[in-house]
Amino acid sequence: MPKVTFQGGPDPAITVEAEPGQTLLEIAEEHHVKMGSACGGVCACSSCHCWIRSGEASLEEATEREEDRMDMGFDVRPYSRLGCQVRVAQADLVVELTEESVTTWYNEHPEHRPG
């Protein structure tokens, strides 16, 4: 089974096993990783924006819809993707949470906000 490492954000990096075909957002939610999902995972915001630091070549290319939505994101880079649209293939991935995504997660879970 492929492994996905989530890094960035306030928590230490975590590596988890994933099923091929699962989205990064599904995996993040399953493991309490702070990936935002303002639209509920239907490609209608950019709050699940993440950077694929390793393993990107194994992934299907972004659809036009994902690309369009990504244009709404902050600090978009060549290896940017939307976590709700990326499906894990066979290779391991390293995924970095963006500040935009973590901020949205805290807005959705204010009870977990530090301080």
Contact set with ligand FES (CB under 6 A): 37-39, 41, 43-48, 69, 82, 84
Residue 91 token pair: 């290779």
Which CB sits closer to ligand FES, 39 or 62?
39
Q: In the complex, what is the shortest distance from the CB of residue 65 to ligand FES, in angstroms, rounded to a whole number?
A: 10
d(CA 82, CA 63): 11
Amino acid at 98: T
Cα 7 → chain centroid: 10
Distance in Å, CB of 64 to ligand FES, minimum: 14
Nearer to ligand FES, 1 or 74 (CB): 74
What's the count of helices (H) and strands (E) in the chain, helices before strands? 3, 5
Closer to ligand FES by Cβ: residue 52 or 84:
84
Q: How far is the CB of 43 from ligand FES (least distance, A)?
A: 5
The phi and psi torsions of 14 (rounded to 5 degrees) equal -135, 140
